[in-house]
Structure 1
Amino acid sequence: MKDIIITTQFSAFDSALDLPINVQDLMNQAIQVRKNAYAPYSQFRVGVAILLENGKVVLGSNQENAAYPSGLCAERVAIFYAGAAYPNAKIVSMAITAASDTNQTKTPIPPCGACRQSIAEYEIRQENPIEIYFMGEIGAVYKSDSVKNLLPLMFDKKFL
């Protein structure tokens, strides 16, 4: 037996105000669209803004359903819309923010596993990394230069 050690690296900003101006704008759009989340069951609202290489910004918020597996996370709402509306445009970066209706989220909240896998599909397909910025409602923002930091053992088409 041998050990396999996997390391990841993130950049940490103290707040959204410390982000580059263009990323601040993207995060502000994510914060605004977070208010459109339909989250009557979890009271947990997520907003995403995706910047495409063509300059377009695609937004998404989580959409819940009483039949729990029928809802969709904000990240997948946005990334699937980007793929449908702009199928040949590469994704440059994503800004993600999450907030609870019941308590203030102060730590960066990354995408769930299903969303990480969905982001991986697009990153692999476009053969370019996607910068992912994520935060709670307030506080620090983490930046990942690629979904590989969030999902180091990605499943992709080479396994099929």
Structure 2
Amino acid sequence: MRKQTISFEFQVYESMAELGQEDQRLMQRAIKAREAAYAPYSSFLVGAAILLENGEVVIGNNQENASYPSGLCAERVALFYAGANYPGMVIKAIAITAMSENHLVDTPAAPCGNCRQAISEYEFRQKEPIPILMMGEKGEVIKCSSLADMLPLGFNNTYLKG
């Protein structure tokens, strides 16, 4: 037997003001998307913005449903929109922001497991890392250089090939 450790580095910015201009603009688009989220059951609103290599920014927000499994997270709404409307286009970055109508969210909210797996699929397919920016309603912003850092030992299509 042997033991191994998996770890990764990420940047923590005190606020959006510390980000570069491109990252600030992307996060502003995610905030705008968050404002239109449909979250009548959880009151937890999430917005996502994806920067594509052609300069286009696509957005998504969480869309809840009374039948909970039928809803969809902001990250996957944006990701699947990008994949459907810009097939094969490289994703350069994703910004995610979350807030609650019931309390202040002042720490970054990371993608759920389903969203991590979906983003991982795109990262693996494009053979290029996807930086991820995360923040709450206000406060710190975390930036990871790749989804693979957040999902070590991830599942991909190499396991499905015969």
Give the TM-score normalised by the residue count of structure 1: 0.99
Deviations 1:30-56, CA, capped at 9 Å, x for gaps: 001101100000000000010000000
Q: Distance in 2 between matches of 1:84 and 1:72?
A: 16
- Which amino acid in structure 1 is aligned with residue 67 of structure 2? A
1:25 aligns with 2:25: yes
- Which residue number corresponds to residue 72 of structure 2? 72
Pairwise mapping of residues 121-136 of structure 1 onto structure 2 (< 5 A)?
121-136=121-136
Task: For residues 7-34 of structure 1, give each alpha carbon's deviation from its aligned partner in whole angstroms, at most 9, with x where no partner exists.
Answer: 1111110001110011101100100110
Q: In structure 2, what is the equivalent of residue 43 of structure 1? A: 43
What is the root-mean-square deviation in Å for CA atoms of aligned residues? Answer: 0.6
5+ residue gaps, structure 2: none
Please list every run of at least 4 consecutive aligned residues from structure 1 whose deviation after the TM superposition is greater than 6 angstroms: none
Structure 1 unpaired stretches of 5+ = none
The corresponding residue for 2:99 is: 99
Distance 1:32 1:157 in 2: 34
Matched pairs, number: 160
Give the C-alpha shift of residue 3 in structure 1: 1.2
1:138 equivalent in structure 2: 138
Identity %: 55
Give the alignment's TM-score, normalised by structure 2. Answer: 0.97
Corresponding residue of 2:15? 15
